[in-house]
Amino acid sequence: MSTSTIQRFLLEDLDIRGAIVRLDEVWQALLVNRDYAPPVRDMLGAMSAVASIIGGNLKQSGRLTIQLQGHGPVSLLVVDVTEGLNLRGYAKASDEAAGKTGIADLVGDGHLLLTLDMPGLSHPYQSYVPIEGSSVAEVFEHYLTQSEQQPAALHTAASSRSAACLFLQKLPDADRKDPDGWDRITRLAATIRDDELLGLSAEDILIRLFHQETVRLLDTREVTHEWPQNWEKVREMLRSLGRTELDAMLAEHGEILIHDDLSNHEYRFDADDVAALFAEPPAEPRTLH
């Protein structure tokens, strides 16, 4: 059974919805051959968990890309998730990030960009907002509250083994059903510890936090990381550069190395590989009648 899942739930008597995402093997796959400093790793983990929840809540089909860009030691965090919850992500950071904590020190001034690429649209939908908040959770609390006009609360945690997020959102009838409900639930949610969020099952977290509430479990969805290498796509890209440009790159570096940062793949081409890109296909044998 997958240990990278989203468990959606509803606090029925309060009109508050929520979700718990836990990324284990998916998060470990994203970290293969990547030596991120712990603050960078944990920030990317938090954003991966949040992106999974936002992607899982989308009513439209399409691919969601979230980018956090700034002028600090972490210049870019990007997470991409499909409608089927196939996740990938990447962080671009300098060595100075190792001793920093918090959005202000790591990212500095910058912006949050969400792009939704949906079938049938000539151009993707984009939402471009300034960074507001001292953590990934606070940044997305502010974004979701503003964009959906309903208060949201998020709690994230990440380590070298797991990344997780608890998401809550106040729905339109919440105040009518219980005027104190939202404040009570968010106070309870704020007691969750990182080790609990990373170590307990979704059901145990819900019992731990909301055992006095009526909790209805909704669907559980699996999050995956399935982005195989695509050699033909890379070959087509190299062919488009032309033989002269590729020969110059070989002369300078001895090989051509292409790194797909988002999917975490390397593609290497030597002189023979480049020659094969431009080789004429063998002629079809002629049949004599």
pLDDT at 281: 67
Domains and CATH numbers, the chain: 5-222 (3.55.30.10), 231-277 (3.90.1280)
- For residue 68 the two structure tokens come to 């956090």
pTM confidence score:
0.88
Q: Which of 140, 118, 116, 137 is nearest to 129 (CA)?
A: 140
pLDDT at position 202 over 60: yes
pLDDT at 147: 86
pLDDT at 288: 55
State the Cα–Cα distance between residues 141 and 161, nearest whole angstrom: 25
Give the residue, 148 or 184, on which the prediction is more confident.
184
pLDDT at 265: 86
Least confident of 61-75, 109-123, 133-147, 215-229: 109-123
Q: Which of 143, 115, 118, 141 is nearest to 129 (CA)?
A: 143
Give the model confidence (pLDDT) of 129-165 as tens digits: 888 889 999 999 999 998 888 999 999 999 999 999 9
Band of residue 77 on the pLDDT scale cut at 50, 70, 90: very high
pLDDT at 178: 94
Percent of the chain with pLDDT over 70: 96
**What integer best gives the mean pLDDT of the chain?**
91
- Kindly report the length of the chain: 289
Q: Taking residues 61-68, what's their average pLDDT?
A: 90
Q: Residue 83 in contact with residue 61, Cβ under 8 Å?
A: yes
State the Cα–Cα distance between residues 21 and 137, nearest whole angstrom: 13
Band of residue 118 on the pLDDT scale cut at 50, 70, 90: confident
pLDDT at position 211 over 70: yes
- Count of C-beta atoms within a 10 Å radius of residue 107: 27
pLDDT at position 208 over 60: yes
Q: What is the Cβ-side half-sphere exposure of residue 100, based on CA atoms within 13 angstroms?
A: 21
